[in-house]
Amino acid sequence: MSFNNTMMHRQSTANAASLAKQQGVCSTEDNQSSSAEPSSLAADTYPLCLSEYTRYGRQLILPSWGMPSQLALKRSRVLVVGAGGLGCPAIQYLAAAGVGHITVVDHDVVERSNLARQILHDEATVGLSKVESAERAVQRINPHVRVDSIASAFDKTNAMPLVSSHDLTLDCTDNVLTRYLISDTAVLCSKQVVSGAAQGVEGQLMVLNKNPHNSDAAPKDGSSAAGPSRGPCYRCMFPKAPRPDDVVDCSDGGVFGGITGLVGTLQAVESIKLLSDMGASTPPALLLCSAFSYPPFRSIKLRPARPDCRSCGNPENVESRISDLAQEDYAAFCGLNDVRGQGGSRGGRDRISVQDLAGILQNGAETTQANPRSLLIDVRPKVEYGIVSLPNTCNIPYTDLRRNPSETLRRIRTLQNSVAPISSSGNPSNRSTSKQSTCASKVSPSIYLLCRRGNDSQIAADLLHEAQDEQASTTGNEEVHTFAAQRADGFTFVDVIGGLQAWSKEVDPSFPVY
């Protein structure tokens, strides 16, 4: 906005035809005009419709932008995978800036827990598919944009046709499997990927497979004749997938809404630069941002693509270069076939439903002399335990437990000496928001393990079983002998199916879910 009032007196001399068009959105045919056409006063030859001149006016007049860039954007087809924390702001700015065609792929539906950061969705679209919610939002923002919504997962079956039919792909997903798949597909189609990531208070941005048609290395004579070297793909940067246990997603680790907004917006900016041919000349870089650090931004220059990369490397240097996505087992590569990694059961572990747990807590079903000393252990992180917890629980965070299950066993035995009955006298859902840290029962050998959704508690039960077996088989261990004398069979570790979410759903709907 400007306060220079000379601007107030400028008036266009629009002809009758264009005035008629001013009222509405121009047709698809209007939008197809070529930027190469000479400028004419006839309305039909304007490459944008009148309302678009007004809509995009502030960016059109930028010396570095102008009509060629605007038209390039209008002719562009952009694929956005993921309409969550990153996808929403990215789609918002791509649409507002005037990208002609946006395809959004996401298999998820809008949940209330998305609304603090996934800004295209709102109360009215909770329960709707994210792509439909995003499409409605785009139509509100800019009716000149065509949106295709695909309410299914981006996978091996649709990857090639989707990526190859778009000029650019934005990776706005939250899992490594999809990141490898998007990157590999883009390499096979010689397309670039604007990749974003956000976790906690930190975010990352990079363009993958940048300048896919350029050679791998910069010219030896230092000339820039061949342009900047081809940038790395996701596999160049991460030839090995992280172990599933080391990957934390937003629902487990939390995320700061503004950070996803920042990274998603930067993805849109980077995309707009590439689509209008303004971003190709800069070397590949990784931008890191951290909301609570100073300075909040850092940029790291990336090495060019690796010649031995399985995805984008030189075929002569690579033994089994990826050439057919159907042949690739992405789940195995990412370690997702490991049952434990998905919170699956090894079998033989005891489990309990939330209803049965409620019965125990309420009725003191196990308060018998034969079953002394039960504990109800909440394995969520300390910060989550501090948000809300069931009464009479102990907090041993899963990460501590996993780091040292044997030590955790010792801790559990110690906790038994500072006991309080796990059965409550009244309401089983008599929740507490305080950070009480000890409680137990004198009456049961069962150690009930509870988490938010019932995944970590399963793994915790397995780890503790294993640690107990290991200790029991160790001869000469005084502590184990003492323990065995106390309780010949040791503890029974019991995971609570579905965790606190199931508790809230099936036992006490007033228990807060986050």
Ligand X SMILES: Nc1ncnc2c1ncn2[C@@H]1O[C@H](COP(=O)(O)OP(=O)(O)OP(=O)(O)O)[C@@H](O)[C@H]1O
Question: Which residues are known catalytic residues?
Answer: 250, 451
Check binding of 275 to Zn ion (CB under 5 A): no
CB atoms within 10 A of CB 502: 18
Q: Compare residues 263 and 463 and give the one whose CB is closer to ligand X.
A: 263
Closest approach of ligand X to the CB of residue 146, in Å: 20
Q: Compare residues 50 and 250 and give the one whose CB is closer to ligand X.
A: 250
Whole-angstrom Cα distance, residue 36 to residue 68? 9
Q: Which partner, ligand X, Zn ion, none, binds residue 250 by CB below 5 to 8 Å per kind?
A: ligand X
Q: Are 133 and 125 a contacting pair, CB within 8 Å?
A: yes
Q: Compare residues 155 and 470 and give the one whose CB is closer to ligand X.
A: 155
Compute the C-alpha angle 266/267/271, nearest 5°. Answer: 115
The bridge status of strand 77-81 relative to strand 394-395 is unpaired
Q: Compare residues 321 and 442 and give the one whose CB is closer to Zn ion.
A: 321
Q: Are 234 and 183 a contacting pair, CB within 8 Å?
A: yes
| Residue ranges of the binding site for ATP | 85, 106, 113-117, 130, 174-175
Q: Which residues of 89-120 are buried (b: 16+ CB within 10 A; e: fewer)?
A: bbbbbbbbbbbbbbbbbbebbbeeebeebbbb
Pick the binder of ligand X from 121, 130, 235, 465 (CB under 6 A).
130
Site string for ligand X, 47-86 (x = CB under 6 A): ----------------------------------xxxxx-
Pick the binder of Zn ion from 92, 173, 311, 395 (CB under 5 A).
311
Check binding of 175 to ligand X (CB under 6 A): yes
Using Cβ positions, the residue closest to Zn ion within the complex turns out to be 309
Q: Are 72 and 168 a contacting pair, CB within 8 Å?
A: no
Q: Compare residues 159 and 309 and give the one whose CB is closer to Zn ion.
A: 309
Using Cβ positions, the residue closest to ligand X within the complex turns out to be 84
Check binding of 108 to ligand X (CB under 6 A): yes
Check binding of 89 to ligand X (CB under 6 A): no
Q: Compare residues 71 and 81 and give the one whose CB is closer to ligand X.
A: 81
Q: Which partner, Zn ion, ligand X, none, binds residue 312 by CB below 5 to 8 Å per kind?
A: Zn ion
Q: Find the binding residues for ligand X in span 143-172 (CB under 6 A).
A: 153-154
Q: Which partner, ligand X, Zn ion, none, binds residue 130 by CB below 5 to 8 Å per kind?
A: ligand X
Scan for tokens 């990531």, then name that residue.
197
Rg from Cα positions in the chain: 29
Whole-angstrom Cα distance, residue 139 to residue 147? 8
Q: Select from 377, 413, 402, 380 the least CA-distant residue to 464.
A: 402
- At 192, give phi and psi (nearest 5°): -95, 155
Check binding of 191 to Zn ion (CB under 5 A): no
Pick the binder of ligand X from 164, 251, 362, 436 (CB under 6 A).
251
Closest approach of ligand X to the CB of residue 259, in Å: 11
Q: Which partner, ligand X, Zn ion, none, binds residue 495 by CB below 5 to 8 Å per kind?
A: none
Q: How many residues bind ligand X (CB under 6 A)?
A: 21
Check binding of 417 to ligand X (CB under 6 A): no
Site string for Zn ion, 209-238 (x = CB under 5 A): ------------------------x-xx--
- At 76, give phi and psi (nearest 5°): -80, 150
Whole-angstrom Cα distance, residue 154 to residue 397? 34
Closest approach of Zn ion to the CB of residue 234, in Å: 7
Q: Compare residues 56 and 398 and give the one whose CB is closer to ligand X.
A: 398
Whole-angstrom Cα distance, residue 490 to residue 20? 84
Check binding of 131 to ligand X (CB under 6 A): no
Closest approach of ligand X to the CB of residue 205, in Å: 15
Scan for tokens 């559990």, then name that residue.
412
> In angstroms, what CA-CA distances link 130 with 99, 153, 199, 512?
20, 12, 20, 24
> In angstroms, what CA-CA distances link 394 with 225, 430, 431, 448, 459?
66, 15, 13, 10, 18
Q: Select from 159, 333, 157 the least CA-distant residue to 243.
A: 333
Sites of contact with Zn ion (CB under 5 A): 233, 235-236, 309, 311-312
Sites of contact with ligand X (CB under 6 A): 81-85, 105-108, 113-114, 130, 153-154, 173-175, 178, 249-251
